[in-house]
Chains A and B, each alone.
Chain A
Amino acid sequence: MATLEREIRFESDRDPEFAAQIRRMPGCENLNRCIQCATCSGICPLSTYMDMTPRRVIQLARDGFKADVLNCNTIWLCASCYQCQVECPKEIGITDVMYALKCKAIEAGIKPKQAAPQTLYREFYNLGTKNGRISEGALMVNTVIKTQPARFWSLKMLGLRLLRTGRFGWKIERMPQQSVLKAAIQATPPINGKESS
């Protein structure tokens, strides 16, 4: 039997500093401008799969309901297509807000219900910082092995098709001047006082 869940929110459920923290992250400066027009939710190709629409995530983030936004699957399902950000009438960096919230979730040790996205982001980051280029083949193989090793063989046909159509490559791409990459990464200031990964 389903349990009845309390839906009321008290003031103690809010983190009054949360919105200000998010607004300090790159691309999130305009968070408070939101007029809740829901263009983002309407245009998002994945919003129908999300437990909270992007509009609601923005509202809750702005109001400081930290626990609610960091535990929703919306931030992990966001495919970074940037359609919401392009269409937003108030020029809010919605995709950037999603990234900021992902950072906050990782920081808080919150694991998404589906493990894949977080691992994918970590592998993406590792490849990027290591080689300066992303190699799709390596990225997907690493992610699948780390999240769903049992399905590795069942996914091989998909992998082969992607290889044949040129979506994947065997080659590990690398930036020619690795020293420049290292220097660039070292010179990048950490976001929000911490490394995001």
Chain B
Amino acid sequence: MVSDNSHNPAEEVRIGFFICHCGVNIASKIDVAEVAKFAETLPGVVVSRDYKYMCSDAGQDLIVEDIKNFRLNRIVVAACSPFLHEKTFRTATQRGGINPFLCHMVNIREHGSWVAEDRVTATEKAKAMAQGGVGRVRRHVALEKRREPVLQSVLVVGGGIAGIQAALTLANAGKHVYLVEREPTIGGHMAQFDKTFPTLDCAACILTPKMSEVGSHPNITLWAYSEVIHSEGYVGNYKVKVRRKARYINEDECTGCMECVEHCSFKTGVVDDEFNVGLVKRKPVYMSFPQAVPKIVVIDPLTCAKLSGGKCEESCIPACDRQALDFTQTERVEEIEVGAIIVATGFKTFDAKRKPYYGYGDFPNVYTSLEIERMVTSSGPTEGEVVCRDGRVPKSVGIVHCVGSRDHQTNRWCSRVCCMASLKLAYLLKEHTGAEIYNFYIDMRTPGKGYEEFYERLLEEGNHFIRGRVAEVTDFAMRPEEENHLIIQVEDTLSGYVRRVPVDMVVLAVGIEPQADASVVRRLFNISCSDEGFFLERHPKLAPVSTATEGVYLAGCCQGPRDIPDTVAQAGAAAAEALALLDPGFVEMEPMTAYVENELCSGCKTCQTMCPYGAISNDAERKIAVINPMLCKGCGTCVASCPSGAIHQNLFDDQELFDEIQEVLAHA
């Protein structure tokens, strides 16, 4: 092949070719020595070697030494996928003293030995690929990584335990945190729980100190009752708009004394109390719970007689001695700039009405686990007293596991926490009422520190465990002892009998599912969802808190069902990732971005609509496309779509690709 090295014609191209055995991964299917010998004959190749493990220190040193000894200025490594070791070999190339982007990887493992059946053809294919790599590397030019400053603040979306933990970790490390929560208070689902498994710590006792720390931390700007409505920018430099909904309360004046709630024209609650999952009613002016952070009341405009335009005594206004009520308040939009974003938007519980044969909504004494959670709390609507809707204390309770989970008709996944949460509720219900507790389970899943021991404790305390998915909950009595009871029909697969178990109260352990607006949030931050709708991590094992979008991290149940210990650990990990991004003060961007050749661009905007990252804008004055290299991920879509051939991409230049193809075909 005739060399026309455009970037520096004066320089003689001196290529080093290195082929890896990868133990037997490659060598068992490809005759690496033969490929190495073949590569030596290719034009420009000065040295060609094979080695057992190129990625080992010794293998890398081989490259470093050869660059020095043979004055190499191009490197081709035939080994595994660049996804695994491109960085390794680029670093080695750099250590040898030449620009790292003068190194090219040929994937003869995933694309070769692992998929080949025949040794001879696999070796031939490897030769062709090697020739292609050698053909294209001569066109490689030295590229520099771009550095951009990183803003030293972080946005945390969601104020549940995940968001709280992430925010506190970052704030304690000296970074400024904006914590945005949709509800009037932070705390999330954990604030609704009574005890936490398996240690039975009081949830409020361990959560509320963290909540107040968030409220008073000098590095945290807490915006509750607010929502992120817009986000743009790129890693290290995000611009975010937050809508702060009107509380109709002057936040600086309100002390949370609740006098206005006392004096509301409505003497009793008028609308379902969201915090107590509808077990009681609340007034239009309310505070979710006494330890709410921020400790500020909120007025619900839909039910407030004054705000909804009805007749009202307005007795709340004089009740407030600080004149904190402000019915003229409107929502406002705050604009902030942050370096990183942690998405911790949590989950919602499965709607038990979707399983009609469990009778939720039909039979008053069928409850969801979250309702029972509120009922057993001493600060809950019944002050910890467990009573059926008719006021009776239940003598027997059936807990139905896997409601909505492990079910192709609803949610296919295991919600992971319900077994342990059900065991905890079984314990608490027995403690509060002395009732006989029946657990109906498909499999008992108790993977965690102290979890199996907790299960054993429940077993030893004489709780009943019936293995079988409940078929139906009915009030149709077949026997005298079943009269005035809810009867749970199930096959106990362990005793081998179909059983009918009459109980006073049924608890449905509802599963965890993505928030209803997860797809909106997903688009907001340009992240992906997995099939079931939970946000998708970059790698399920090795990057579980990162997303495909640089600088956006995940924490908690928005990424998948998990319990509190795992959530806190993940939130810490997300905070650490954000810190690692912020702390150096700059980000290095890969140079394989697209760029526009201004003279050729006709300003047709085709590329603009194609770019999945919103990296291309239009320069109205010059009527040309402008690519923001910070946003460009190097996907190549614009390059392919440009009708004028005006867009090029570093490392994937047309000529580089054509040369590679030509050389591969030349071998074939």
Closest to A65 in B: B495
Q: Is the beta-carbon distance between B462 and A56 smaller than 8 angstroms? A: no
Q: Is the beta-carbon distance between B499 and A9 smaller than 8 angstroms? A: yes
Using CB atoms and an 8 Å cutoff, list the residues of chain B in contact with chain A. 436, 444, 455-456, 459-462, 464, 466-467, 478-482, 492, 494-502
Instruction: Report B-chain residues with C-beta under 8 Å of the C-beta of A35.
Output: 444, 455-456, 459
Q: Is the beta-carbon distance between A7 and B498 smaller than 8 angstroms? A: yes
Interface residues on A, range: 20 to 34
Q: State whether the Cβ of A36 lies closer than 8 Å to any Cβ in chain B.
A: yes
B462 CB contact (under 8 Å) in A12, A32, A60, A68: A32
B479 CB contact (under 8 Å) in A7, A11, A19, A90: A11
Q: Which of B459, B466, B479, B497 has the most CB of A within 10 A?
A: B497
**Which 6 pairs, one residue from A and one from B, show the smallest C-beta to C-beta distance?**
A9-B497, A59-B494, A8-B498, A9-B499, A59-B495, A32-B459
Q: Is the beta-carbon distance between B496 and A12 smaller than 8 angstroms? A: no
Given A11-B479, A20-B462, A36 and B497 contact (CB-CB distance below 8 Å):
no
1/0 contact string of A27-67 vs chain B (CB within 8 Å): 00010111110000000000000000001100110010100
Q: Is the beta-carbon distance between A60 and B495 smaller than 8 angstroms? A: yes
Q: State whether the Cβ of A170 lies closer than 8 Å to any Cβ in chain B.
A: no
Q: Is the beta-carbon distance between A36 and B499 smaller than 8 angstroms? A: no
Q: State whether the Cβ of A153 lies closer than 8 Å to any Cβ in chain B.
A: no
A-B contact pairs, 9 of them (CB 8 A): A8-B498, A9-B495, A9-B497, A10-B481, A11-B479, A32-B460, A34-B459, A35-B444, A35-B455
A11 CB contact (under 8 Å) in B444, B461, B466, B502: B502
Q: In the docked arrangement, what's the CA distance between A102 and B605, Å? A: 88
Q: Is the beta-carbon distance between A9 and B498 smaller than 8 angstroms? A: yes
Instruction: Report A-chain residues with C-beta under 8 Å of the C-beta of B466.
Output: 63
Instruction: Report A-chain residues with C-beta under 8 Å of the C-beta of B492.
Output: 9, 59, 63
CB distance from A115 to the nearest CB of B (A): 27
Q: In the docked arrangement, what's the CA distance between A175 and B497, Å? A: 49
Instruction: Report B-chain residues with C-beta under 8 Å of the C-beta of A12.
Output: 479-481
Q: In the docked arrangement, what's the CA distance between A59 and B494, Å? A: 7
Q: In the docked arrangement, what's the CA distance between A59 and B465, Å? A: 9
Instruction: Report B-chain residues with C-beta under 8 Å of the C-beta of A11.
Output: 479, 481-482, 500-502
Q: In the docked arrangement, what's the CA distance between A32 and B464, Å? A: 9
Given A9-B499, A11-B502, A56-B495, A36 and B467 contact (CB-CB distance below 8 Å):
yes
B460 CB contact (under 8 Å) in A8, A33, A56: A33
Instruction: Report A-chain residues with C-beta under 8 Å of the C-beta of B481.
Output: 10-12
Q: Which of B466, B494, B495 has the most CB of A within 10 A?
A: B495
Closest to A53 in B: B496
Closest to A60 in B: B495
Apart from A8-B499, A11-B479, what 16 extra A-B contacts exist at CB < 8 Å? A7-B496, A8-B500, A9-B500, A10-B478, A10-B500, A12-B480, A12-B481, A34-B459, A35-B455, A35-B459, A36-B467, A59-B494, A63-B464, A63-B466, A63-B495, A65-B497
Instruction: Report A-chain residues with C-beta under 8 Å of the C-beta of B479.
Output: 10-12
